Structure 1
Amino acid sequence: MIYQVVIALVVVAVTQADPGVYEPVYKPEPLPYYFDYSVHDDYKKTDFGQHEKSDGKALYGTYWVDLPDGRKQRVDYTADHYKGYVAKVSYYGHAKHPKYYGPPATFFKSHDYGYH
């Protein structure tokens, strides 16, 4: 009889000690920040970068890149927990295509030339 009472008390103590789900008491608030980088190389003709800042609740930013056709792409964006990610994409300049293209790339099958 005493053995059954001890087992019952151990079971009650274990179930009370482990509530199942751990919830932290302290939840830190997001901190404001500012992030910025850019690359401008006259020799390689590259220009790209990003500016981003946050007030702890929403995110605001811009990034830009030179496209292969000569235009510049710029993306202005905001993000928060209500509207999500919202971007405005814009292009500057005119696309430039070469007047002459090189010879077309040709591929051959290995059995055409006796390779196996």
Structure 2
Amino acid sequence: MNAKVLILLGLAAIVAADSFESYEYRPPQRSSEESYESGEAKYDFNWAVSHDPSSNEFGHQEARDGDHTQGSYYVQLPDGRLQRVTYFVDGDSGYVAEVNYEGEVSHESASFESREYRPRYVYDSNESK
């Protein structure tokens, strides 16, 4: 009796599954009255980071309006100088950049051992035996 009930329920499930609509991905449909407007890219952003314990500073600024983009970014180099890059892109002219350095080279600031926040790794030859 249980087998007949299971078979009957299985057949009912198959029939019910066939009667449902299939759910497959279809791109959104637009009516003929709707129009898709492709606007020119336009944005403006700016961010900066200053990490006091390491004296590390870096940031980026960029603005775009259509085919014209301009911006700059800067980073504190390990030798103590600040590298600043100013750039622009105008249509098909490509990326045009000007690189400047501010400050003097300091060999002390370039030393990894002098920075307290740097992890130190010690290799122990006895560990591998």
Q: Name 2:20's counterpart in structure 1.
A: none
The structure that is helix-richer by fraction is 2
Q: Name 1:39's counterpart in structure 2.
A: 49
TM-score, normalization: structure 2?
A: 0.54
TM-score, normalization: structure 1?
A: 0.59
Q: Give 5+ residue unaligned stretches, structure 2.
A: 1-34, 114-127
Q: Give 5+ residue unaligned stretches, structure 1.
A: 1-24, 103-114
| 1:1-60 Cα distance to aligned partner (Å, 9 max, x none) | xxxxxxxxxxxxxxxxxxxxxxxx967232310111110121221110000001122101
The answer to whether 1:80 aligns with 2:90 is yes
The answer to whether 1:54 aligns with 2:64 is yes
Match of 1:92 among 77, 92, 102: 102
In 2, Cα distance between equivalents of 1:41 and 1:97: 20
Provide runs of 4+ in structure 1 moved above 6 Å.
none
**Cα RMSD for the two superposed structures:** 2.7
Question: What residue identity is the alignment partner of 2:62?
Answer: E
Identity %: 40
